[in-house]
Amino acid sequence: MPYVIASPCIDVNDKACVEECPVDCIYEGNRKSYINPKECIDCGACEPVCPVEAISQDRRVSDNDKAFIADNRAFFIEILPGRAEPLGAPGGASKIGELDTDTPLVLDW
């Protein structure tokens, strides 16, 4: 997975990254956003616009936030609270809109 959104996004979810993403691969959960690893083109446009520095490449995630690497992927491949099936890779966040759910890690944060 090229880019990950980690804990600083929780309950801030500024969404500047959503506006900057050229491929529409940043999906909005209830408490934070998530980058779809199958749709991200690794351009890095999202990273510098994040006001809380929550976005980084997976290999540069801080030790305290390593769990968010797997968590970001889980948002797309696991059945989350309030959903009947995994989100998968629907081909663009704007088609889906805000998703009123988060992963268990974020829900328990």
Angle, vertex CA 24, rays to CA 61 and CA 80, nearest 5:
65
C-alpha–C-alpha distance, residues 14 and 73, integer Å: 20
Share of the chain above pLDDT 90, in %: 90
pLDDT tens digits along 3-32: 999 999 999 988 999 999 999 999 999 999
Mean of pLDDT values over 30-36: 96
Could you give the domains of the chain?
3-107 (3.30.70.20)
For CA atoms 13, 47, 26, 80, give the dihedral sign: negative
Round the average pLDDT of the chain to a whole number and report it.
94
Q: Which two tokens stand for residue 62?
A: 């801080």
CA 80 → CA 6, 14, 33, 74, distances in Å?
A: 18, 22, 14, 9
Per DSSP, what are the bridge partners of residue 33? Answer: 28
Q: With bands split at pLDDT 50, 70 and 90, how would you rate the model's confidence at 2?
A: confident
